[in-house]
Chain A
Amino acid sequence: MNLFLAAFAALGISSSIMVIRANNPVYSVLYLILVFVNVSGILILQGLDFFAMIFLVVYVGAIAVLFLFVVMMLNIKVEEKQESMLRYLPVGGGIGLIFFLEVVIGLDKEFVPLNLLSLGPSYESEILPEYLHWGETLAQKTGIEAIGQVIYTYYFYYFFMASFILLVAMIGAILLTLHNDPKVKRQEVFEQNAREFSRTIQKAS
């Protein structure tokens, strides 16, 4: 299993480096798709099969297409050679280092056993909470079922918020991009289908 993880991670990281190093923006987008595929592989290894599916459907199926459209719309031919990479390296590298250290520090730390030793040994029995072993109480569910059981019931609010966000996105996209030019002839499907040829063809006399 670790071998798979290593393979997916290595491929993912190397293709994400290629995303920013490729000269042709279309290649960048294709490498980005490769990154998404690898990440969904990692998600499957974590047991998050539904998220892996969503990742593929949404990111590869839709967002990468949008990226391609943007590249096409901006009409960028070939990006200029990044001769100034060294200029950004200190700042970017510093931020990257901070993030890396943060993840290293944050990994495998738990807040729950609130520094019992610092409070002294006598407090230990009073403070230490009784843990509920969730693993024993729960029935076995797949990830997708587990999501379904909470998101439509207990956390329905989040679900509704998602619908509002999608509604706003719909209205916003149409408002910002749709130009209705009155000069352009449009399809009137109903009228066109309802035309009878006997009424439209007239004898010129």
Chain B
Amino acid sequence: MFYLFESDFLGLIPETFLLLGLSALLGYGVWYEKGRESDMTSHQLWIGGLCLVFTFILLCESPLMNMILCYNTLIIDGMSAFLKSLILISTLCIFGLSFAYLPQERIKAFEFIILLLLATLSLMLMVSSYDFISLYLAIEFQSLGLYVLAALKRDNEYSTEAGLKYFVLGAFSSGFLLFGASLIYGLTGTTNFEDLGLLFTGVGPTDLFTQGSIVVGLLFLSVAFLFKVSAAPFHMWSPDVYEGAPTVITAFFSIAPKLALFGVLIRVFYLGFFDFLFSWQQIFFFCSLASMVFGSFGALGQVKIKRLLAFSSIGHVGYMLIGLATGTLQGLQGIFLYLLVYMIMTINAFSVVLSLRTREGEPKFLLDLKNLNLKSPILAITLSITLFSMAGIPPLAGFLSKFYLFFAALDASLYSLAILGVLSSVISCFYYISLIKLMYFHKADEVELKPILPIDSQKGLLLGLSFFGILFIFLYPSPFFLLSHAAALSFS
């Protein structure tokens, strides 16, 4: 039997390494934890970060580029390599943010690191999944870890509420996913994406009776995924969860699962159900529109920083869904580019928010940003450039990615989506700019300047790198274009 899987284990070397590394870390942590809890988290962060770096190197050096593994349950291709490396980088950034955050919030549980590593592993497996069963298992694996991470501060009401809400709605959407997948399995007798794609080749709109139920299955699947990526009619949970979870976990939530879920969405709908393009295009069209509108209008009324960031991420998900709705390779490339830029911007925004910590704790409200210019001019300029980039103001990275997506939409004749996208990004400018006004032009008379705690070197490094990325990707975008193009080409 082993000869059947001989080379499969070669393809899974990065994941295997990550698994072995985190098992060793778990054993190390639980064995030597007694009496030195605070040292332990920092050890684990360093070693876990190292583990991620090695996994990244193994991933990049992997000689196997295109392969189907483990008896048609997993696949390696350009997209999986691209998204897996983004996931690893984002987890590494989260680790960088955690160095100062964990002691500040007195989180002594080293399981934080283990669960993050397990979640990373599951996200990597999720991007590779090639079959509904492996997809479902990977999603469950990922969500279980994330529910626990959201409720990590178990004495804090917000955090437990976040965990509970995330759990209930996550379980609900997993149920939808299962229902849709079992409908499709019941009608076709296969769960494999490629087999489904082959089976559906050239299906015309003739037999509505059979096809109708496939379309309903498809509807359930897309609702489940849209729940998970928190796209608009299904976004209710995300502001609460983002607000309640510990801030580094919020940063993780808003980056890594979205990277993996967009990979999965693309794999399911472009590989398995591409011949039903005109059915699912409408769903994503509507959801993308709704997410952009809800994202920008919902953010206008917010007073808390993390809720604002949650709404902004809903808006970004809407822009990315434009790329999905196009049904073209250009749209896919736009999504990949957007994901990359979104990752950089979100890392930057969250590291600024975490750097604003004063002696009294983390800033919660937008008003805490008042007069940031006087307190720390460099942080103020970083945050304002990032916000400009999120809004899509020209010479910044965010503009590049949005521009590319809108052009993809125009090429696919989705004119209304492109126009409304531009309009909603104009609306989103309002609240981004109102933040900047708060930082720079607020009257300075009644301020009591609480000093900001010094920023540790890891966070400084992250701030610098991501700021550099936001500023200069526009000047030399070709490597990123090439990377995202290579990722998109796996669906040509």
Direct contact between A and B judged by beta carbons closer than 8 A: yes
Question: Do A157 and B144 touch across chains, with their CB atoms under 8 A apart?
Answer: no
Min Cβ gap A44→B in Å is 21
CB-CB under 8 A from A167, the residues of chain B are: 118
In the complex, which residues 163-190 of chain A have their Cβ closer than 8 Å to any Cβ of chain B?
A: 164-165, 167-169, 171-172, 175-176
CB-CB under 8 A from A172, the residues of chain B are: 115, 144-145, 147-148
Q: Does A79 contact B (CB under 8 A)?
A: no
Stretch at the interface among B202-210, B282-290, B390-398, B484-492: B202-210
Which residue of chain A has its CB nearest to the CB of B206? A118
Q: Which of B71, B74, B144, B213 contacts A106 (CB 8 A)?
A: B213
Q: Does A109 contact B (CB under 8 A)?
A: yes
CA distance A176 to B111 in the complex (A): 11
Min Cβ gap B30→A in Å is 10
Question: Do B137 and A162 touch across chains, with their CB atoms under 8 A apart?
Answer: yes
Question: Do B70 and A156 touch across chains, with their CB atoms under 8 A apart?
Answer: yes
CB-CB under 8 A from A110, the residues of chain B are: 187, 189, 210
CB-CB under 8 A from A161, the residues of chain B are: 125, 134, 137-138, 141
Question: Do B73 and A168 touch across chains, with their CB atoms under 8 A apart?
Answer: no
Question: Do A112 and B141 touch across chains, with their CB atoms under 8 A apart?
Answer: no
Q: Which of A102, A115, A118, A158 contacts B216 (CB 8 A)?
A: A102
Which residue of chain B has its CB nearest to the CB of A179? B154
In the complex, which residues 90-117 of chain A have their Cβ closer than 8 Å to any Cβ of chain B?
A: 102, 105-106, 109-112, 114-115
Min Cβ gap A153→B in Å is 5
CA distance A155 to B206 in the complex (A): 36
Question: Do B73 and A171 touch across chains, with their CB atoms under 8 A apart?
Answer: no
CB-CB under 8 A from B151, the residues of chain A are: 176
Question: Do A105 and B209 touch across chains, with their CB atoms under 8 A apart?
Answer: yes
Q: Which of A106, A154, A164 contacts B187 (CB 8 A)?
A: A106
CB-CB under 8 A from A118, the residues of chain B are: 204, 206-207
CB-CB under 8 A from B214, the residues of chain A are: 111
Question: Do A155 and B73 touch across chains, with their CB atoms under 8 A apart?
Answer: yes
Known: A111-B188, A115-B206, A158-B134. A165 touches B144 (CB 8 A): yes
9 closest A-B pairs by beta carbon, nearest first, are: A172-B148, A161-B137, A157-B70, A106-B213, A111-B188, A118-B206, A154-B71, A168-B144, A115-B207
Chain A residues with CB under 8 Å of chain B are 102, 105-106, 109-112, 114-115, 118, 153-158, 161-162, 164-165, 167-169, 171-172, 175-176
Residue contacts A-B, CB under 8 angstroms, 23 given:
A105-B209, A106-B187, A111-B214, A112-B199, A118-B204, A156-B5, A157-B73, A157-B74, A157-B134, A158-B73, A164-B122, A165-B140, A165-B144, A168-B115, A168-B144, A171-B26, A171-B111, A171-B148, A172-B115, A172-B144, A172-B145, A176-B151, A176-B154
Having A106-B216, A169-B144, one finds 10 other A-B pairs with CB under 8 Å, namely A105-B209, A106-B183, A109-B209, A111-B199, A154-B71, A164-B19, A171-B115, A172-B144, A175-B111, A175-B148
